């Protein structure tokens, strides 16, 4: 079975071409391949399939085998995958996701995709809630960006013991389907520093939908402008929350790490 390892700001997934055939038990395969000691290693698996309304579709599985509706870093790599492998010559295309279709604009360098802009849709910011973990109460802003997020503003995300509080906050009873958690700090010059705990994957280097959620909550609370740079441990995303249609456009890198063959019985 041929696989492609790709990453966007260190948010790494294993990609499968499922345009013609689909392996059995994709959730189980995601768990096995994503293991960083006994597998390939990754935050999950993304299967690229024929589009329903769009050019292609992506089926996303987290490292624990659970389904994910949408991944901002992952979808950028889908765009690079289909273009660099000659599956399309279009530089503007649409990818069907569990959160609905998303439009991509591919930016080329020497004939290959190196940056991708994604229309992430319109975020929905809900009233703030209080979440408790490790004896501490956090004020969080729930945001829907195709998947659920809880944004918590703090002085310095690096000082938050995310490995301890992340699993507890993810499973808050206020979010029956679990939730992604972002700790964010606004800085001068429309910059946001962010760390992420992703449901189903844990501590990750970046999260595209999480960056969009932080921007939406930041604008809602007057902490930042509509155009900002989101700095994550894995790198920087450029975001623009457009007034004309209410959609957030996200631009960031997409990188192929390696190609490999794995045993069919893996």
pLDDT at 224 (0 to 100): 96
- And the tokens for 228? 């900002």
- Residue 91 is predicted with a pLDDT of 98
Position 189 scores a pLDDT of 79
Any idea which residues carry the catalytic annotation? 71, 207
Q: What is the DSSP letter of 66?
A: -
**Rounded Cα–Cα distance for residues 99 and 97 (Å):** 5
User: Each residue of 197-225: pLDDT tens digit?
Assistant: 999 999 999 999 999 999 999 999 999 99
Looking at residue 188, its pLDDT comes to 87
Domains of the chain: 2-120+252-261 (3.10.310.10), 124-246 (3.10.310.10)
Q: Which stretches of the chain drop beneath a pLDDT of 50?
A: none
What is this structure's pTM? 0.94
Q: pLDDT tens digits, residue range 79-115? A: 999 999 999 999 999 999 999 999 999 999 999 999 9
Secondary structure class of 32 (helix, strand, coil): helix
In this structure, are residues 199 and 170 in contact, taking their beta carbons and an 8 Å threshold?
yes
């Amino acid at each position: 079975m041929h696989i492609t390892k790709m990453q966007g700001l260190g948010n790494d997934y294993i990609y499968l071409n499922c345009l013609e055939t689909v392996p059995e038990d994709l959730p189980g395969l995601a768990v096995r391949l994503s293991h960083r000691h006994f597998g390939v290693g990754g935050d999950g698996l993304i299967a690229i399939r024929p589009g329903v309304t769009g050019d292609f579709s992506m089926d996303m599985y987290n490292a624990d085998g659970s389904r994910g509706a949408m991944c901002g870093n992952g979808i950028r790599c889908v765009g690079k995958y289909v273009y660099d492998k000659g599956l399309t010559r279009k530089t503007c295309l649409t990818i069907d996701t569990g959160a609905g279709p998303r439009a991509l604009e591919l930016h080329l360098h020497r004939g290959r995709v190196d940056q991708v802009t994604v229309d992430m849709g319109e975020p929905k910011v809900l009233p703030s809630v209080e979440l408790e973990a490790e004896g501490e109460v956090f004020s969080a802003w729930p945001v829907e960006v195709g998947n659920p997020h809880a944004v918590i503003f703090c002085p310095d995300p690096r000082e938050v013991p995310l490995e301890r509080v992340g699993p507890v906050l993810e499973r808050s009873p206020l979010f029956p389907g679990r939730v992604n958690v972002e700790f964010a700090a606004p800085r001068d010059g429309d910059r946001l520093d962010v760390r992420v705990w992703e449901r189903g994957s844990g501590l990750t280097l970046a999260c595209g939908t999480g960056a969009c959620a932080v921007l939406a909550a930041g604008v809602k609370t007057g902490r930042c402008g509509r155009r900002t740079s989101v700095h994550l441990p894995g790198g920087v995303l450029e975001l623009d929350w457009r007034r004309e249609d209410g959609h957030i456009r996200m631009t960031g890198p997409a990188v192929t790490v390696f190609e490999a063959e794995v045993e069919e019985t893996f």
